[in-house]
Amino acid sequence: MGYLGVALLRAALAAGKGNVQPNGGLVERRCFAQGFLTNLTNPKAIVFFASVVSQFLASHDVRGGVAVLGGVVLAVPLWFLMLSYLSTRALGQLSAVRRRLIDLAAGAFFLGLASYGIATAFLA
Helix, strand, coil percentages (3-state) for the chain, rounded to 5, are: 80, 0, 20
Question: Quick check: 108 and 12 in contact, CB under 8 A?
Answer: no
Mean pLDDT of the chain: 80
The stretch 31-50 carries a mean pLDDT of 77
Spacing of C-alpha 107 from chain mean position = 14
Q: What is the pLDDT of residue 106?
A: 92
CA triplet 53, 59, 63: central angle to 5 degrees?
Answer: 75
28 vs 45, residue with greater confidence: 45
Evaluate if residue 61 carries a pLDDT over 80.
no
Phi then psi for residue 37, to 5 deg, are -65, -35
* Dist CA 50 CA 47 (whole Å): 5
Q: What pTM does this model have?
A: 0.54
Q: What is the pLDDT of residue 121?
A: 86
Question: How does residue 53 score in pLDDT terms, banded at 50, 70 and 90?
Answer: confident
109 is in which domain, residue-wise? 2-123
Sign of CA dihedral 114, 116, 119, 122: negative
Number of domains in the chain: 1
The stretch 101-120 carries a mean pLDDT of 91
Q: What is the pLDDT of residue 104?
A: 92
**pLDDT cut 70: percent of the chain above it:** 85
Give, in order, the Cα–Cα distances in Å from 69 to each of 40, 83, 96.
Answer: 16, 21, 42
- Containing 92, the helix (H) or strand (E) segment is helix 62-93
